[in-house]
Amino acid sequence: MKLEQNKIDSHNADLYEKHQKKLAYLQKELPESEEIIKKLQDFQIAIPSWALGTGGTRFGRFSGAGEPGSLEQKIEDVGLLHAINKSSGAISLHIPWDIPQDAEKIKNLAKSYGLKFDAVNSNTFQDQKGQEHSYKFGSLHHVDPNVRNQAIAHNIEVIKYGKDLGSKALTVWLADGSSFPGQLNFREAFQNTLASLQAIYAELPEDWKMFVEYKGFEPNFYSTTIADWGQSLLLANKLGEKAYTLVDLGHHQPNVNIEQIVAILLGENKLGGFHFNDSKYADDDLTAGAIKPYQLFLIFNELVDGLAYQGLDFASSLGWMIDASHNLKDPLLDLMQSVEAIKIAYAQALLVDRKALKIAQQENNVVRAQEILQDAYRTDVRPLLAESRHRNGAALNPVQLFEDLNLRAALIKERGHQGIATGL
Ligand code: PSV
Ligand code: MN
Ligand code: MN
């Protein structure tokens, strides 16, 4: 389904007057408004192909309707989302869930929606039909070199798919770990993982990056072989300059200071990208900013500061992606809410008076420093986001547009009541 521009235009016409009033007020208050609007226009957040269907839990899955059943339909969904918000101009594929049989055709289809291909993701956390060796006890860290070699070969194949589509990064997330003390020799598992990653890294094209994702626990419950940012950074440093740590917000123990991790990684120029989501307890895959919007703002505060420190362009230097797939909401509405929350945090971070903050820090003025951050955080920047969308030809209010036009009903009419978006 392609959304005609005139539907967005008439939605915008209805909301424009009210929007203008709010925007004019903010523009008077904030001299930096114009600059922020432009930065928001440029900032794109990739959508993973597995977020387009209703997620499940290990207890069950309540399928939504009208969900994409093929790679083409997943691209169509991201295209629809991008037409509505003009902020989701890339899709990230998981192989073998989304094998592009005809890469040229898939590339052209994506192009027709204004989409690029973000990082490609390998999958050695599930066994596939006909696979020779099982990943039950791990993949790149496995005690058996035959299993390791199979997992290495899979990653190299994923790079090949990515090359055909124009991707520029490989994300490696491993479920490898152990569930009981004594099961694993930690040192050997880590060394095996490094050697396997080195074999994959050797096949990485010159202009590609490798993102090494970490996760504290789950699906293993005693140890994970790449458990935290320290272990990921150690691997990335040993691998070389094309390897980076990837931060998934859901992959930390509760209360971990993620913004500090971000600051340190950026200071070392070893932060590769982000998987955005939110959580109350663990890897809950909740909508970004749904539980801890202040933390999201503090993370963006470090991102704005750290990327400027490295002299890097904000929008294009890191991999920005949502990684969430929950079981209650319409996936497209959920993604709209995540994108909105991420952009709000970015806009608020751009409002931080960095010179004043520096002075407050130099003077150890703790109260002043907090005031500066919270002044920015408590500013309602939503009219700036709406204006950036309007200038890009997107909807002033994406959620309202989706609901007013009954877009899910239209998708159900087209696709029926199917609902498996991922290979799970
Ligand atoms: C694992 O929890 C993860 O966050 C990794 O990024 C995977 O690639 C993704 O979920 C999908 O399984
Ligand atoms: Mn992730
Ligand atoms: Mn995760």
Q: How far is the CA of 173 from the centre of ligand 1 (A)?
A: 7
Find out whether the beta carbon of 314 lies less than 6 Å from any atom of ligand 1: no
H/E stretch holding 224 reads strand 223-224
Find out whether the beta carbon of 252 lies less than 6 Å from any atom of ligand 1: no
Q: How far is the CA of 108 from the centre of ligand 1 (A)?
A: 27
Which tokens sit at 20?
């203008």
Q: Which long-range contacts (CB under 8 A, 24 or more apart) does 16-24 make?
A: 16/390, 16/396, 19/383, 19/386, 19/387, 19/390, 19/396, 22/382, 22/383, 22/386, 23/383, 23/384, 23/386, 23/387
| 5-415 CATH fold | TIM Barrel (3.20.20)
Find out whether the beta carbon of 274 lies less than 6 Å from any atom of ligand 1: no
Q: How far is the CA of 184 from the centre of ligand 2 (A)?
A: 24
Domain ranges (residues) in the chain: 5-415
In this structure, what are the phi and psi dihedrals at residue 151, rounded to the nearest 5 degrees?
-70, -35
Q: How far is the CA of 169 from the centre of ligand 2 (A)?
A: 14
Find out whether the beta carbon of 121 lies less than 6 Å from any atom of ligand 1: yes
Q: Which ligand is nearest the CA of 174, by number?
A: 1
Our mutation pick for probing the ligand 1 site, out of 74, 94, 213, 232, counting the most ligand atoms within 8 A of Cβ, is 213
CA angle, 160 then 54 then 322, to 5°: 55
Which atom of ligand 1 is nearest to 50's Cα? 11
Distance between CA atoms of residues 184 and 143, nearest Å:
9
Distance between CA atoms of residues 136 and 97, nearest Å:
19
H/E stretch holding 39 reads helix 33-42
Tens-binned pLDDT, residue by residue, of the chain (424 aa): 899 999 999 999 999 999 999 999 999 999 999 999 999 999 999 999 999 998 888 888 888 899 999 999 999 999 999 999 999 999 999 999 999 999 999 999 999 999 999 999 999 999 999 999 999 999 999 999 999 999 999 999 999 999 999 999 999 999 999 999 999 999 999 999 999 999 999 999 999 999 999 999 999 999 999 999 999 999 999 999 999 999 999 999 999 999 999 999 999 999 999 999 999 999 999 999 999 999 999 999 999 999 999 999 999 999 999 999 888 999 999 999 999 999 999 999 999 999 999 999 999 999 999 999 999 999 999 999 999 999 999 999 999 999 999 999 999 999 998 665 444 4
Q: How far is the CA of 216 from the centre of ligand 1 (A)?
A: 12
- Give residue 138's region: left, alpha or beta (phi > 0; psi -120 to 50): left
Find out whether the beta carbon of 340 lies less than 6 Å from any atom of ligand 1: no
Q: Supply the pLDDT for residue 354.
A: 98
Distance between CA atoms of residues 354 and 309, nearest Å:
12
Which tokens sit at 210?
């490798």
Q: Which ligand is nearest the CA of 173, by number?
A: 1
Find out whether the beta carbon of 98 lies less than 6 Å from any atom of ligand 1: no
